[in-house]
């Protein structure tokens, strides 16, 4: 069956349209793609260089029948078969290895970009491309840490271009020295929560005028999720009550200009600086946006006046 009556497909859910590029078709990206298809997004473009292995089966939407197949094309085929209204395609490739113009084209063709990889380098590069092309982007991930259980905490960063929000590099600067890690642990039942919330974030970014966009607070662009599991001691201050919960956290612009988005705490867009100021209220006093330029202007004016006076004085002596 390839043709389904549209009015019946969407009879119980208002379709939200748009195109999405998903870099990384692993556990998080895979379930995300399936959810976005059913929300109504089309086309979906998936990119992943890996093949499906036995160790992936416990948490991946693809089943044993796809073992040994490249994840992205296999998943795209599954989505097309299971949900024909979605035009999904999969590319077996490493996004980092693609030519720059191809990267920009893929990102530019999307309304929203999702980077769901296990490579910090890839996440940072997707961030730079999305910023340069001007596309909103989302960065879902799960924590790997000896303090907590597998997939106990999920993390979703979302970014608006044009320094309207801090970018991925602003938020993940402390991970620059960390080693890349391969997708390792966590059960499907816990990982899917992150995919589901990410799908909501993507829908909100793709439809800023829709009521769904109310879930996003531009002043708090990092979302941390705690799954329906006992809370480990190391994260209990943030998640004081047991079970399923989430925190939307403020991410400040860096003190020095970000290498990726050039945003920084003292010279940012008016909206971002207002959001940042609201969070900084009551903390250590810092210059308001615009004050450094006023000081510089005053200094230049003073120097100009001094030079003028000196020139006039010299002229009167000649």
Partner 1 sequence: MAAGEKRRDSEAAPSPETEGAMVGTAPETLQHAEPTREEARDSERSWFLDTDTGELKPDEPDQRSGRDPQSGPRAVRVSRWTFD
In the complex, the residues that contact partner 1 under the rule CB under 8 A are 24, 26-29, 116-118, 120, 140-150, 152-153, 155, 170-175, 178-179, 181-186, 220, 222, 224, 230-235, 237-238, 240-242, 245, 247, 249-252, 254-255, 279, 282-283
40/59 with CB nearer partner 1: 59
Q: Could you tell me if 207 and 213 are in contact, meaning their C-beta atoms sit under 8 angstroms apart?
A: yes
The CB density around residue 303, as the number of other CB atoms within 10 Å, is 10
CB of 264 to partner 1, least distance (A): 12
CB of 252 to partner 1, least distance (A): 6
Distance in angstroms (rounded) separating the CA atoms of residues 41 and 201: 13
Distance in angstroms (rounded) separating the CA atoms of residues 247 and 234: 16
Distance in angstroms (rounded) separating the CA atoms of residues 116 and 130: 14
Distance in angstroms (rounded) separating the CA atoms of residues 253 and 163: 9
The strand pair at 20-23 and 44-47 is best described as parallel
CB of 138 to partner 1, least distance (A): 13
113/251 with CB nearer partner 1: 251
Distance in angstroms (rounded) separating the CA atoms of residues 203 and 181: 29
The residue with tokens 């999720």 is 225
CB of 53 to partner 1, least distance (A): 14
Q: Could you tell me if 62 and 78 are in contact, meaning their C-beta atoms sit under 8 angstroms apart?
A: yes
CB of 237 to partner 1, least distance (A): 4
Tell me the C-alpha to C-alpha distance, in Å, between residue 81 and each of 88, 90, 290: 10, 13, 55
110/118 with CB nearer partner 1: 118
CB of 101 to partner 1, least distance (A): 26
Q: Which DSSP symbol is given to 45?
A: E
153/205 with CB nearer partner 1: 153
33/40 with CB nearer partner 1: 33
182/211 with CB nearer partner 1: 182
Distance in angstroms (rounded) separating the CA atoms of residues 110 and 112: 5
16/175 with CB nearer partner 1: 175
Report residue 301 as tokens: 């004016």
Beta-carbon contacts of 82 under 8 Å, excluding residues fewer than 6 positions away, are 34
CB of 183 to partner 1, least distance (A): 5
Backbone angles phi, psi at 161, to 5 degrees: -70, 175
Beta-carbon contacts of 276 under 8 Å, excluding residues fewer than 6 positions away, are 219, 250, 252, 253, 265, 268
40/252 with CB nearer partner 1: 252
CB of 29 to partner 1, least distance (A): 6
40/152 with CB nearer partner 1: 152
Q: Which DSSP symbol is given to 204?
A: H
CB of 291 to partner 1, least distance (A): 22
């Amino acid at each position: 069956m390839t043709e389904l009556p549209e009015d019946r497909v969407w009879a119980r859910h208002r379709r939200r349209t748009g195109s999405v590029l998903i870099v990384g078709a692993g556990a998080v990206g895979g379930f995300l793609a399936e959810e976005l298809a059913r929300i109504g997004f089309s086309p979906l473009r998936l990119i992943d260089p890996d093949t499906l292995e036995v160790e992936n089966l416990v948490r991946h939407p693809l089943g044993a029948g796809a073992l040994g197949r490249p994840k992205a094309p296999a998943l795209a085929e599954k989505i097309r078969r299971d949900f024909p209204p979605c035009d999904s395609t999969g590319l077996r490739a490493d996004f980092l290895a693609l030519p720059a113009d191809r990267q920009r084209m893929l990102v530019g063709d999307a309304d929203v970009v999702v980077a769901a990889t296990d490579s910090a380098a890839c996440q940072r590069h997707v961030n730079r491309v999305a910023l340069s092309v001007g596309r909103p982007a989302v960065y879902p991930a799960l924590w790997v840490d000896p303090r907590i259980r597998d997939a106990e905490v999920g993390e979703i960063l979302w970014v608006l271009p044009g320094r309207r929000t801090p970018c991925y590099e602003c938020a993940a600067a402390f991970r620059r020295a960390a080693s890349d890690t391969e997708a390792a642990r966590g059960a499907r039942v816990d990982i899917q929560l992150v995919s589901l919330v990410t799908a909501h974030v993507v829908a909100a970014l793709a439809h800023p005028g829709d009521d769904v966009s109310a879930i996003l607070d531009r002043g708090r662009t990092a979302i941390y999720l705690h799954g329906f599991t006992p809370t480990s001691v190391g994260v209990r201050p943030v998640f004081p009550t047991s079970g399923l919960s989430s925190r939307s956290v403020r991410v400040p612009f860096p003190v020095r200009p970000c290498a990726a988005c050039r945003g920084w705490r003292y010279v940012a867009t008016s909206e971002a600086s207002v959001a940042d100021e609201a969070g900084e209220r009551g903390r250590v006093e810092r210059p308001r946006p615009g004050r450094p330029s006023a000081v510089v202007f005053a200094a230049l004016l003073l120097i100009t006046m001094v030079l003028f006076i000196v020139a006039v004085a010299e002229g009167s002596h000649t």
